[in-house]
Amino acid sequence: MPSVYFPFTLAFFTVTSVRGGRILLALYALHLGAQPFTVGLLAAMFSAPPMLLSYQIGKLTDRFGTRWLLMIGIAGSAMGLLVPFFVQSLSSLFIAAIMNGVAFAFFNVSLQNAVGLLSTAQTRVRNYANFTLVVAVAQFIGPLLVGFAIDHVGHSTSCIYIIMIAVVPVILLFLRGSGLPAGTGKPAKSGGSMLELLSDPGVRRVLAISSLMMTGYDLFLFYMPIYAHSIGHSASTIGIIIGTFSAASFVVRLLLSRLLDRFSVEQVLSCAFYIGAAGFVLVPFVQNAVLLCVVAFVFGLAMSVGQPITMTLSFSNAAEGRSGEAMGMRQTINHLTRVVGPMVFGSIGSAFGLFPVFWINAVMLASGGAFTRPGKLETKDR
């Protein structure tokens, strides 16, 4: 069986470029005078392609494998960032955001499915936890690099830095991509559909938990920079705050296996939701950069446990030969809420300020804690 470490390497460079690109585009928009609603709309553009494409990408991954689909997505993201490099306008940022979202869709579905296929039932949880550790490191490095790049060379030139990082996984895929799992080479068996998958109550529950967790995660990443910018913090400081959030992701995923040995999946998820809700409540009362880093770190600890757990549940409960489809459906549902959320909360932020945005998100996460009841989640070995 090929090594699972090659997808980890691809994930590091891809996430560094994608996450750094998102922070760059959000701060670029604020630099050009965008209002919270516009930034929320820009955030929605990151999630629109995954929402529309993830399910079909999953089916394509099952059929054709990972290599070429991932190359196309990452290369497209790099080319998209050339637009705001040459044209400094809000419209160019939206083009780059859409291409960034396309790359994210290919990355999430293809590489997550590849990790599952390169794992056994005994190693899958550990491999997904390690995969998300790599992602957490990349999410820390990406915003940090972007923050300092903006302060030293400006927003436009920073686009070239992100493009240079995105080129690395494309080269690796070209040279060594044949080691990734191949597809079945044929269409999925007839009779399967998204509605069929959604008819399972357990699947629906996992999808609901996943979408709530990831929505809170993403909205914090997008609205924390807006809040920090509004109270006068520099791009470097904002990069450090977001990087601290990602550092927490690394820490909690390093400890995830031990947590699951001691507590049930439901207990871990419920506690995470309530801590995340408390984090959203606290943010509007904190202006000091160090204290914002503390809040971001604690929030990151809470919000980062959901992804490896729900990835494992989604893959393990998928039918044979339909794991990519199941992972794609998970991404589709997650990004449906990610598209709607930034637009709704961007409107609220523009009309009433940022305080209600954080507090409504707190209520949303608290409801997720109440929704996560014991005895409803299980993992099937296959």
Per-residue burial over 75-97, b if 16 or more Cβ lie within 10 Å, else e, is bbbbebbbbbbeeeebebbbbbb
Region of 121 on the Ramachandran plot (φ > 0 left; ψ -120 to 50 alpha; else beta):
alpha
Q: What CA–CA distance (Å, rounded) separates 255 from 259? A: 6
Predicted local distance difference test score (pLDDT) of residue 293: 92
Do residues 333 and 58 make contact, with C-beta atoms less than 8 angstroms apart?
no
In Å, how far from its chain's centre is CA 210? 11
- Residue segments in the chain with a per-residue pLDDT below the cut of 50: 1, 190-191
The H or E element that residue 92 is part of is: helix 90-117
Helix (H, G, I), strand (E, B) or coil at 10: helix
pLDDT given for residue 201 in this prediction: 66
Both structure tokens of 137? 């490191």
**Per-residue pLDDT at 18:** 87
What is the structure's pLDDT at 191?
Answer: 46
Residue 46: its pLDDT value, please? 79
- For the chain, the domains span 5-177+197-371
Q: Which of 308, 338, 316 is nearest to 202 (CA)?
A: 316
Query: Token digits for 149?
Result: 């790049």
Mind listing the pLDDT tens digit for each residue in 260-302?
788 887 888 888 899 999 988 888 898 899 999 999 999 988 8
Residue 181 DSSP label:
P
- The pLDDT, as a whole number, for residue 290 is 92
118: helix, strand or coil = coil
Helix pair 289-303, 201-230: axis angle to 10 deg: 170
3-class secondary structure, 120: coil
Give the whole-angstrom CA distance, residue 50 versus residue 218: 14
Rounded Cα distance between 13 and 111, Å, is: 12
What local confidence, expressed as pLDDT, does residue 321 receive? 66
Structure tokens at 17: 């470029």
Burial class (CB in 10 A: 0-12, 13-18, 19+), 69: buried
Question: Is 18 buried (19+), middle (13-18) or exposed (0-12) by CB count in 10 A?
Answer: buried
Class (C level, CATH) for 5-177+197-371: mainly alpha
